[in-house]
Structure 1
């Protein structure tokens, strides 16, 4: 089975700091999105940089939940999408949730999306507004099948 989380993508990352994403799968035997799947980690987004966490979802109607906290202060967040194809070039992505700057240092930012189509969904963290300060982002991701009462929209 293909993993749900792909290798993170970085742009403008010029630091020797290492990221430490790690996965905790509630069910290693199921297809992505068919049963509960969890992942959490910690990343650093350099001053003036961006960082993407791609999630490969092969089953439509999977619910992607996210939660993250940023230290210090604020970071911009957006959600992007690329349909499944033979190449996994993440340079041409469609914006699903436009970039919004969030204060996620005191209270975590949470949201979810019911995935309509299989593809690669990328959670993008943008620190281009900060000239000198790198940001530590601690995140949790969770995948599951939707309930029949689940709204088919993005909630943030």
Structure 2
């Protein structure tokens, strides 16, 4: 059904050119401060002090960052098929700065598809990826949408679908983003009836050399 390649390469560069097993990151709420217990003990006393202590504990978390992560993650991809799940929408600038994990691992059940959308806001920048799968191959492609409001059914396929032997060797690829928009990596296991696939992928974002 799909051509089989050891490596997947993007299409030629047109003017419109168009690797945690959990789907929701555990670190969204942040880590408790080491001096949290000391802070509570220092402010413990009458009821008013206890209220202040409780308020200060909640202020340890960067609320703006939390709400940003939650709102971005909860925004569904319009018209996304029922057999498809998605990672959080990644911002290319966060990938570059290291604010989000560049490497992830996910189990894709038989008959299911997993997508990784990346929002690129700067033109003429490079999106690079590499991935491996276990225990068998996986179908891979890259889609493009002009914005996160564009329905998935209207996405344009810019890296053709191919069945990659990523269980034998790591697959690497890159594309030049000449337009702003959502570039979505698609790992398709819908052709498998009984076998789940573990996919380890990593992403990199940088300016064109």
TM-score by length of 1: 0.71
5+ unaligned residues in a row in structure 1: which ranges?
30-36, 148-156
C-alpha distance in structure 1 between counterparts of 2:114 and 2:205, whole Å: 21
User: Structure 1 residue 133 and structure 2 residue 195: aligned?
Assistant: yes
2:138–2:166 CA contact under 8 A, matched in 1: yes
Higher helix residue share: 2
- Deviation of 1:106 after TM superposition, in Å, equals 2.3
In structure 1, which of residues 69, 73, 83 is the aligned counterpart of residue 132 of structure 2? 69
Pairwise CA RMSD: 3.3
* Residue among 145, 149, 152 paired with 2:207: 145
Give deviations 1:66-119, integer Å, cap 9, x for gaps.
00000011000000000136x254342110011100110121100000101000
Query: What CA deviation, in whole Å up to 9, does each residue of 1:43-71 have, x standing for no partner?
Result: 11110111110000000111000000000
- How many residue pairs match? The answer is 132
Larger Rg, first or second structure (1 or 2): 2
Name stretches of at least 5 consecutive residues in structure 2 with no aligned partner: 1-64
Q: Following superposition, which runs of at least 4 residues in structure 1 exceed 3 angstroms of deviation?
A: 6-11, 22-26, 88-91
Indicate the structure with greater strand content. Answer: 1
TM-score (norm 2): 0.54
